[in-house]
Structure 1
Amino acid sequence: MRGRRVLMESLASNGVRHIFGNPGTTETPLLDSLAAYPQIDYVMALHEGVAVGAASFYAQATGRTAFANVHVAPGLGNAMGSLYGALKANSPLIVTAGQQDTRMRLANPLLGHDLVAMAAPVTKWSVQAERADELAPILRRAFKVATDAPSGPVFVSLPIDVMEQETAVEPVVSDKLWRSAHLDPKGLAEVAALLLKSARPAIIAGDDVARAGAHAGLVALTEAIGASVWFEGLRAHASFPTSHPNYRQSLPGDAAQVRKVLGDADLVLLLGGPFFEDIWYASGSHFPDKAVVVQIEESSERLAFNHRLDAGLVGDMAASIAGLAAAIRARQSPEFRLAAQSRNQALAELSVREKEAHRSRLEKSWNREPSSMARVMAELRRGLPDDAVIVDESITASLDLARTFDYRGFGDYFGGRGGGIGQGFAGAIGVKVAMPDRPVVAVSGDGSAMYSIQALWSAAHHKLGIVFVVLSNREYRILKHNVDVWRKNFEAGTQHPYQQMDLTGPDLDFVPLAAGMGVEGIRVEKADDIASVVASAVASNRPYLVEIAIEGKR
């Protein structure tokens, strides 16, 4: 059996249904093998960053290990930003690259480089198959490592001569692994006791809650203890129903601001995340003074890694949350139950006030031209069906997007982690491949869209009915906001105009860009037209781009 057949049989046995890739000469063994494996579709991208970004979001949407294939050193270099995003998002992902013939290794061949060293900093494991005998065991381990908690990307370098070598080491059937950790009864009792002592609890729900399908359990726990629920600033999922009155929004980007919004919380429960990915340095703790800090994770790697804990528990996320809710219900006193109900009522009243404040802000900005961010989000919501999936890279419009859309559970929302831009359009490809029966809408800033604009061609090529919404203010608005913060934090003393942050001279024009890649598009200047245009785009069930003129920060 040749090495390339070992690769393809390993993919098939592990349930791989799609290869996200950009072809090259050293990938010929894989590409030529596709005809013999019709159950595996090749999703073609015109840039390696798009291929890996799509694969990462596909992994998030399906919960299965995704597979991407890129081309030698420059191709892997092109993919590095997306690999970083996959690492931060904990996407179970195997990325391979064709490598030059090992017999040329010492001669510094064209496109050759140490691929293992390149990928190592942004993967859980990086390895090269040196002979065909290694392919089966390497691939078996790659699928295991990618899915071990916390999951993440693995890189495998595949030299072209190794792929053509004969081997007697055949691929093995995929491992059947049950990894859920049993809850420690003593630990669960300790955490429950701390929650029952709390008068002002707060919960920060990470992405693992959504991936575990633990929404219902978290709602039950939240209501049982009367807690507020927060998301991390950058997240891949919505881990709690955002229409619930106890939901409070996403956390800000430095320790001082996080501490401020948590207010007088006397207990903070961290569920399933790295906690925290700050943007700016600020002295002090993320937590209010004297607050008890509790963390639950699915592996010990994250537990107490960044913060001292009063209690930490390792266990299956859904079972841990459900077990904790059950323990609270069994042990709570009538006084605690009444206090929790009172907290829930106070949070519901706060939620009503915040919604009223948002409506007031929306009314004040309703007739602005170009359209305000709040108005654009309101019109998008009006034009989209209830089952629309949002792939979010709206950046400075993200707060208005979050206030406008309600996410019920896993699958309604996908976002990029790590802070690198260009994830939205690429990620929408993977989400639509994973969820073909739901309308998928990618919402992106214009600057971010240009990082992965080639995704439009992939959508057209594979006839993927994605609506790509570009919020066009012709600037890197987020950078202008960050300049303001920098000037304040570091007392820079400069007040001159923002440097190199305007996307003008020439202005970007996304409609002809889309047309050149086979995607129909329209530019919308008036907010009154947004809802009908977006509704028509969704109804067309084909790739469609909607560019919306939106207010900037000039």
Structure 2
Amino acid sequence: MRPVEALLSVLRDEGVSTVFGNPGTTELPFVEALAGAPDLTYVLGVQEASVVAMADGYARAVRRPAFVSLHAAAGLANGLVGLLNASRSRTPLVVTAGQQDRRHLVHDPMLSGDLVGLARSAVKHAVEVQHARDLAVLLRRAFAEAVRPPAGPVLLSVPMDLLEEDGPVDPPPARSQLGGAGPAAGWREAAALLAGADRPAIVAGDGVGRADALAELVGVAEALGAVVFHQPMNDGLGFPTTHPLYASALEPRNSAIRAALEGHDVVFVAGARAFTAHHYEPGPPVPEGTSVVQLDDDPAEPGRVFPVALGLTGGIRETLAVLAEALDGRVPQASGRIAVAESAHTAARAALRERALAGYGDAPMDPLAAVHAVDAGLPADAVVVEEAITCGVLLRRLLPLERPRSYVHTVGGGLGSGIGMAVGSRLGDPSRPVVAVLGDGCALFGLQGLWSAARYDVPVVFVVMNNGEYRTLKDTVARRGRLDGFAPGCLDLRPPELDFTEAARFFGVDAVRAGSAEQVTEAVAKAVASGRPVLVDVPVTGREE
């Protein structure tokens, strides 16, 4: 067996059927081998940031590691933003980057470099393969490491000449079957602390969604009658937003988190990576006198940022299941708490919808009205990929999300992921329609992903909230009272006017510009029904009126 054949054998055995990449000369041996492997599909992207974003969305949809092939130092550098996002979002990826021929490296050829050093800060682990006999073993390790908590991307640097070697290597080692984690030790103590709380609250982290544990967390919340917040800038759905106990997503500011949790004597943090604040503020996120019970599958997480009364490490779904069973019927006040929370939840959502409807009108539209109009055009089983920054905050408040994996975001902060992630999400799960809601600035960072959507005819609806400015920066500067100190136009995207329908058509994607809120709803619904990739350009004002 040749080294490249061993590589393909491991991919098949690990369940890989799709390779995301942008090839160069150092990947030619791999690409040539794929030509004779009809069971492995190569999904081409025309820029590596879009390639990694597609793989990220795909991995989340199929719930196993996605495989990515990048080209040398330059291709890896382009893909780093996606790898940083995947690391922060705990998305398992196995990435190979083609290194130059080892016999040529002494001459410092073009595109060569320290690929391991370049990638190290953006991935869980990185290693360069030195011997053909080691390739299959290291690839096996990469797949295992990618899913081991905390999950994330793993990189292998693979020299071109290593793949071209003709000498036989041993068959790949068999794939190991590893058991899942059980309930966390200390769950009984956690149940006692939660049952004894006078005003409990829960923070639902992205780990709940990744573990497919929404139902189990609902059971814990209902047994306690505890209000539930999403972690700041949540990447996915950790709790149904239509549930009477759902409060909101926490704002990514320590002062806002403290205010939301104030008065709760015990807070249960389930599967959340600490509390991600967007900007520095003095003071801790947890109010003084509030006890925290924190559960995570990563043993380094509990107590990492704020002190906890009890830290639990184990399977998130398994631990939530035993907690829900242990707490069931143990808290007589739960039903009364649920009734109070339901009243507040219903009133808040009704007031928000009323405010949105009051803003309906012609373009440029009120942002809250525009996102409400998008929601009105969504089918019930839609997956929403959101990278809209300021409009995204409004969208989160409105979306009635109930089904697991209905919402996709990245807390990584590297812009331009939304288009590629939406394409990968649909490729990974063709059974559900995918609608991407994008800010205009975010869309500009990742426009190349539209080429892949058109090339493979991936039926995704791309909705661009077009306000012509970096609104989130203006809002941040305004809060600091320094807007007058900025050079005119440095936070604006116009002139010229950005018409995203022209950009979409350049890449071969159908497009329409909405002239009113009603047209937004109609355009989204028609685009979903078309079964084609479609972009909807939605002109909005800079802020909610």
Residues 1:180 and 2:181 aligned together: yes
Distance in 2 (CA, whole Å) between partners of 1:495 and 1:353 is: 41
Q: Does the 8 Å contact 1:201/1:228 carry over to 2?
A: yes
SS in 1 for 2:258: helix
Q: Does the 8 Å contact 2:509/2:535 carry over to 1?
A: yes
Match of 2:208 in 1: 209
Deviations 1:452-481 (A, max 9, x none): 101111011111111111111111111111
Distance in 2 (CA, whole Å) between partners of 1:495 and 1:130 is: 54
Match of 1:160 in 2: 160
TM-score, normalising length: structure 1: 0.95
Q: Does the 8 Å contact 1:221/1:325 carry over to 2?
A: yes
Shift of 1:36: 2.3
User: Which of the residues 536, 540, 543 maps onto 1:550?
Assistant: 540
Distance in 1 (CA, whole Å) between partners of 2:442 and 2:288 is: 38
Distance in 2 (CA, whole Å) between partners of 1:244 and 1:5 is: 51
Match of 1:468 in 2: 462
Match of 1:314 in 2: 313
Identity of aligned residues (%): 37
Match of 1:191 in 2: 190
Residues 1:500 and 2:490 aligned together: yes
Q: Does the 8 Å contact 1:99/1:158 carry over to 2?
A: yes
Q: Does the 8 Å contact 1:98/1:157 carry over to 2?
A: yes
SS in 2 for 1:447: helix
**166-175 vs 210-219, which moves further:** 166-175
1:470–1:324 distance in 2 versus 1, CA, 3 Å: same
Match of 1:541 in 2: 531
Distance in 2 (CA, whole Å) between partners of 1:202 and 1:405 is: 22
Residues 1:237 and 2:251 aligned together: no
Q: Does the 8 Å contact 2:197/2:265 carry over to 1?
A: yes
Unaligned stretches of 5+ in structure 2?
none
Q: Across the two proteins, how many residue pairs are aligned to each other?
A: 543
Match of 2:57 in 1: 57
Shift of 1:105: 1.4
Shift of 1:179: 3.0
TM-score, normalising length: structure 2: 0.97
Match of 1:146 in 2: 146
Q: Does the 8 Å contact 1:424/1:442 carry over to 2?
A: yes
Structure 1 residues 54-453: aligned runs within 5 Å: 54-165=54-165, 166-184=167-185, 187-329=186-328, 332=330, 336-337=331-332, 339-367=333-361, 369-453=363-447
Residues 1:514 and 2:513 aligned together: no
Shift of 1:167: 3.8
Shift of 1:482: 1.6
1:130–1:401 distance in 2 versus 1, CA, 3 Å: same
Q: Does the 8 Å contact 2:49/2:78 carry over to 1?
A: yes
Structure 1 residues 33-48: aligned runs within 5 Å: 33-48=33-48
How much is the aligned-residue C-alpha RMSD, in angstroms? 1.6
Shift of 1:499: 4.7
Match of 2:473 in 1: 479
Distance in 2 (CA, whole Å) between partners of 1:272 and 1:299 is: 9
Shift of 1:318: 0.9
Deviations 1:346-403 (A, max 9, x none): 1111112212321332243223641111211222122221111111112111232122
**536-545 vs 492-501, which moves further:** 492-501
Distance in 1 (CA, whole Å) between partners of 2:17 and 2:384 is: 23
**524-533 vs 107-116, which moves further:** 524-533
Q: Does the 8 Å contact 1:268/1:287 carry over to 2?
A: no
Distance in 1 (CA, whole Å) between partners of 2:278 and 2:488 is: 20
Shift of 1:273: 2.1
Deviations 1:55-82 (A, max 9, x none): 1121112111111111111111101111
Q: Give the residue type in structure 1 aligned to 2:506.
A: G
**416-425 vs 78-87, which moves further:** 416-425
Q: Give the residue type in structure 2 aligned to 1:121.
A: S
SS in 1 for 2:445: coil
Q: Does the 8 Å contact 1:234/1:419 carry over to 2?
A: no
Where does structure 1 differ by over 6 angstroms across 4 or more consecutive aligned residues? Answer: none
Q: Does the 8 Å contact 2:367/2:543 carry over to 1?
A: no
Distance in 2 (CA, whole Å) between partners of 1:498 and 1:399 is: 26
1:312–1:382 distance in 2 versus 1, CA, 3 Å: same
Q: Does the 8 Å contact 1:239/1:409 carry over to 2?
A: no
SS in 2 for 1:450: helix
